[in-house]
Amino acid sequence: IPVEVFDLVIFGGTGDLALRKLLPALFRRDAVGQIPPQARIIALALDHQTLEEYRAQVADALQTHLRAVEAQAETLARFLERLEYHAVDLMSPASFQSLATILDTCPERIRIYYLAVAPALFSAISHGLAGAGLAGNNARLVLEKPLGHDHASAALLNAQVGEVFDEHAIYRIDHYLGKETVQNLMALRFANALFEPVWNAQCIDHVQITAAESLGVGSRGGYYDTAGAIRDMVQNHLLQLLCLIAIEPPYRFEADAVRDEKLKVLRSLRPLSGRKVLDHTVRGQYLASSSSPAYIQEVGNPASMTESYVALKVEIDSWRWSGVPFYLRTGKRLKAQSAEIAVVFKQPSHLMFGDLPTPILPNVLTMRLQPDEGLRLHIMTKEPGPGGFRLHDIPLDMAFAEGQNEDWRMPDAYERLLMDVVRGNQTLFMRGDEVEAAWQWIDPIIEAWQLSGRKPDGYDPGTSGPISAIEMMARDGRRWREIE
Ligand code: BG6
């Protein structure tokens, strides 16, 4: 279904985010006819280059990031035709005036400003837009992380952008919310009668959320070394996943109803500070292997205390979740590229089978975010046969790709999110108060780490992280699931 006609202005049009994620996502939406022919994509950046040069740069990026079957010459040419390019100096009001001249040729359109630039520029750009009369009712602002590096800076950012744009016009992207499995989590919980009655402390033993990456920090060392895994992944992606597992049913599937519930979860996270932080968290940093450099070499900072891995035990002080730990972990250079949520249920209250040759395993519901997106429910069944009574664990599997043909691919999160901005649907975007609440919970953890002066524990590349993370689980009599 085509969306309304829009003008999309990408600040940072030659940057990595634009070339690797945004333009491929727009191309794909265009290829299926969702973008109306009149819509314009206006890229802005510092580089002085002609429109033809910019189009060639985008064509190159699309060839790299799309599959060959997608980048058909005709579709590609049509998409490139939509692009406009302007070199701008964001510090000069004249740049915003020239942008106004372009946009004012179609004053009635929805205007989307995607700030694919460093957050230090968010305030200046918002005010620049306002100064040129470009922040009216039809304007929407899209922001990407890092949204601050602690609570104070996030609150300042919210306030600065909030001077120009109303909260209803601000779309803070957390691309995890655009992933199919994550949206499916809402469907699973709230469109089925089966799960909600067992979705609580009576039936659930614990939850594990894993986002493992096999790659290192690569060329992003400069940014990453100031952030670490907790700021880069936990404050946003992992806490958002936790929220969606833990929320109470929203009264309607609508932006503020969902976000109000997420905010309640964030506010009910049991605070971790001081000594408790050291018992409830583990930090790791990858070492060198014969084929890959150590973290400290990769970021060029031999004294770096930044973690490339973090594991946390999180508790939620609420009626539903009291006593159910949520174990979160994420890291780079681990044994596989894999992200999943696993809900581990309690054992049946009475085990009537007596001594069995095989143990009764708990039911586990896993939701795989990537790769092989899908759901799996492990249940105990009787092994067929007339012999003794033996139980074994069988997965009920559902792959989202099932039944699709070979050319089918899982839509990328940005496709969904960009079209939601055009549709004016904020359900999958973070509200300012959510971002701040997440930082409020994270700040004391980072503070305790800094005060302790402890270095992150080293771990070998290609493993599942530091031994201390296994020990943290073992202290609770539990085990991490295999990363695979
Ligand atoms: C980004 C982080 O937000 O998410 C990266 O900054 C990380 O460090 C990436 O690699 C992971 O995203 P995905 O979609 O590949 O799981």
Q: What are 167-201's pLDDT values in tens digits?
A: 999 999 999 999 999 999 999 999 999 999 999 99
In this predicted structure, what is the pLDDT of residue 211? Answer: 98
Cα distance between residue 474 and residue 39, in whole Å: 56
Q: List strand residue ranges (DSSP E) for 420-477, in order.
A: 457-459
Phi, psi of 129 (to 5 degrees): -65, -45
How far is ligand 1, taken at its centre, from the CA of residue 246, in Å? 22
HSE-CB at 410 with a 13 A cutoff on CA atoms is 20
Gap between the Cα atoms of 405 and 247, Å rounded: 35
Q: Of the residues 65, 143, 175, 235, which should be mutated to test ligand 1's pocket, given the most ligand atoms within 8 Å of the CB?
A: 175
Ligand 1 centroid vs 220 CA: distance in angstroms?
11
Residues 358, 390 contacting (CB under 8 angstroms): yes
Q: Does pTM top 0.90 for this prediction?
A: yes
What pLDDT sits at residue 328?
98
ipTM topping 0.95 = yes
Atom of ligand 1 nearest to the CA of 339: 16
Residue with tokens 């305030």: 123
Pairwise CA distance, residues 139 & 115, whole Å: 13
C-beta of 339 in contact with ligand 1 (< 6 A) = yes
> Which stretches in the chain have pLDDT values below 50?
none
- Asked if residue 103 has its Cβ within 6 Å of ligand 1, the reply is no
pLDDT for residue 386 = 86
Secondary element (H or E) of residue 159:
helix 151-162
Closest C-alpha residue for ligand 1 atom 4: 233
Using the atom order of ligand 1, give the atom closest to the CA of residue 237. Answer: 3
Q: Which of 97, 104, 135, 96 is nearest to 40 (CA)?
A: 104
313 is an annotated ligand-binding site residue:
no
**Residue 232 near ligand 1, beta carbon < 6 Å:** yes
232 marked among binding-site residues: yes
Backbone angles phi, psi at 207, to 5 degrees: -125, 140
pLDDT of residue 203: 97
Q: Which pLDDT score, from 0 to 100, does residue 389 have? A: 83
Which residues form the catalytic set?
A: 237
Q: Is the CB of 213 under 6 A from ligand 1?
A: yes
Question: Are 287 and 460 contacting, i.e. CB atoms less than 8 angstroms apart?
Answer: yes
**8 Å CB contact between 37 and 5:** no
Q: From 329, 292, 279, 10, select the one nearest 142 (Cα to Cα).
A: 10
At 86 the pLDDT is 95
Q: Cα(387)–Cα(21) distance, rounded to whole angstroms? A: 56
Instruction: Return the structure tokens found at 357.
Output: 């040759």
Span from the CA of 346 to the centroid of ligand 1 (angstroms): 32
Nearest alpha carbon, ligand 1 atom 15: 213
pLDDT at 184: 92
Model confidence pLDDT, tens digit, residues 81-101: 999 999 999 888 999 999 999
Quick one: pLDDT at residue 355? Answer: 81
pLDDT reported for residue 320: 98
pLDDT for position 476: 97
